[in-house]
């Protein structure tokens, strides 16, 4: 079955509308992939108009997505199913706003409950320092990489936000950077640290001019490849992996992992959650709160160090009769005056 021209036309109109509202190109692309599945589903049911779609038909689509295995033959995750359903709900919501459909049959399309997802383990602060210090800033590529990863770690910016930066977005003197391509079209201005400023200044003064000459004309993009072209996400990810593997670091690490590391290390050093929220550009503090779970290891260390039942000496004795008896002798603490308590 071929896709109806009318359905394809409305999907294209939807993509144009959300991109005009500030939706990132990568987000638009992922939604279109999901909607192409929806188009093929409608074609298989010989439905050529979006207005002919019913809630019952959408439930059939949900069941099909839920029971279609991945390329590896595994059941799809809840987030994968929800991405497809969210794309369809967003399609009808926007088309209804544009008066291109009379009703929204997806209004009551329910999503699956997703298990709580924690960020993957992040590098410790000393591991991060070792990784960044391993990048030689004396070469054009190395100087760019050192400045880019230092900025990612310092600001907690998303990789897509960072590669989209232009030269005019950076103020070295004030140590501020404007993020124009934030999630949901939101812009923000965030500070970066002195170390990041040092390597960014080195890149702008000595590395980038040489890369820019490869193009033969002025380039507005901040980060350039060896050929003078704007750098892409996959290059940033690939080179980070190369630096990680050269050090023998086994933890999984992506550019987004530098964002997680920034938030986690700030939280470990008692930064306020609302400040981390503003730095990361989260619309809701609930999104930022996930990093409180990431720092649970430090909470365990605090418990072992500070709780009286942990600080004490609990001797376990296994008697001949099989009974286990314990004797608890608490270690003395210290009061405000320095005396033992």
Ordered by start, the domain boundaries in the chain are 5-97, 125-296
Mean pLDDT (the chain) is: 85
Helix orientation angle between 140-155 and 233-246, rounded to the nearest 10 degrees: 100
The residues that are catalytic are: 158, 183, 256, 259, 282, 291
What's the CATH number of domain 5-97, 3.90.1300.10, 1.20.1560.10, 1.10.150.130, 3.10.20.30?
Answer: 1.10.150.130
Q: What is the dihedral of CA 279, 282, 284, 287, to 10 degrees?
A: -100
The confidence score (pLDDT) of residue 311 equals: 54
The confidence score (pLDDT) of residue 302 equals: 63
The confidence score (pLDDT) of residue 300 equals: 65
What size, in residues, is the chain?
Answer: 341
Burial of residue 182 (CB within 10 Å: 0-12, 13-18, 19+) is buried
Return the CATH number of the domain spanning residue range 125-296.
1.10.443.10
User: What's the rounded mean pLDDT across residues 258-274?
Assistant: 89
Does pLDDT of 117 surpass 80?
A: no
| Banded pLDDT at 60 (limits 50, 70, 90) | very high
Q: Which of 21, 4, 14 is nearest to 91 (CA)?
A: 14
Measure the CA–CA gap between 45 and 41, rounded to whole angstroms: 6
């Amino acid at each position: 079955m071929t896709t109806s021209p009318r359905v394809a036309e409305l999907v294209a109109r939807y993509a144009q509308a959300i991109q005009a509202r500030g939706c990132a190109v990568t987000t638009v692309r992922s939604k279109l992939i999901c909607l192409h599945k929806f188009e093929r589903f409608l074609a298989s049911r010989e439905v050529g108009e979006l207005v002919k779609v019913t809630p019952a038909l959408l439930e059939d689509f949900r069941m099909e997505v839920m029971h279609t295995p991945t390329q590896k033959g595994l059941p799809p995750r809840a987030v994968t199913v929800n991405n497809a359903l969210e794309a369809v709900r967003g399609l009808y919501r926007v088309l209804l706003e544009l008066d291109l459909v009379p009703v929204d049959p997806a209004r009551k399309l329910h999503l699956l409950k997703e298990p709580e997802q924690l960020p993957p383990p992040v590098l410790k602060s000393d591991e991060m320092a070792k990784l960044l210090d391993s990048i030689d800033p004396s070469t054009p590529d190395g100087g760019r990489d050192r400045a880019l990863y230092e900025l990612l770690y310092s600001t907690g910016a998303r990789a897509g936000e960072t590669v989209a930066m232009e030269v005019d977005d950076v103020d070295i003197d004030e140590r501020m950077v404007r993020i124009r391509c934030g999630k949901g079209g939101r812009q923000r201005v965030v500070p970066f640290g002195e170390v990041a400023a040092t390597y960014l200044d080195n890149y702008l003064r000595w590395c980038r001019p040489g890369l820019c000459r490869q193009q033969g004309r002025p380039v507005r993009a901040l980060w350039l490849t060896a050929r003078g072209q704007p750098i892409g996400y996959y290059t940033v990810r690939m080179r980070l992996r190369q630096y990680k593997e050269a050090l023998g670091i086994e933890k999984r690490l992506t550019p987004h992992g530098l964002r997680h590391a920034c938030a986690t290390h700030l939280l470990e050093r008692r930064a306020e959650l609302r400040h981390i929220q503003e730095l990361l550009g989260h619309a809701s503090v609930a999104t930022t709160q996930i990093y409180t779970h990431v720092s649970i290891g430090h909470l365990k260390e605090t418990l072992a160090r500070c709780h009286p039942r942990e600080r004490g000496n609990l001797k376990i004795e296994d008697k001949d009769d099989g009974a286990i008896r314990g004797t608890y002798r608490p270690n003395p603490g210290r009061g405000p005056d320095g005396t033992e308590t």
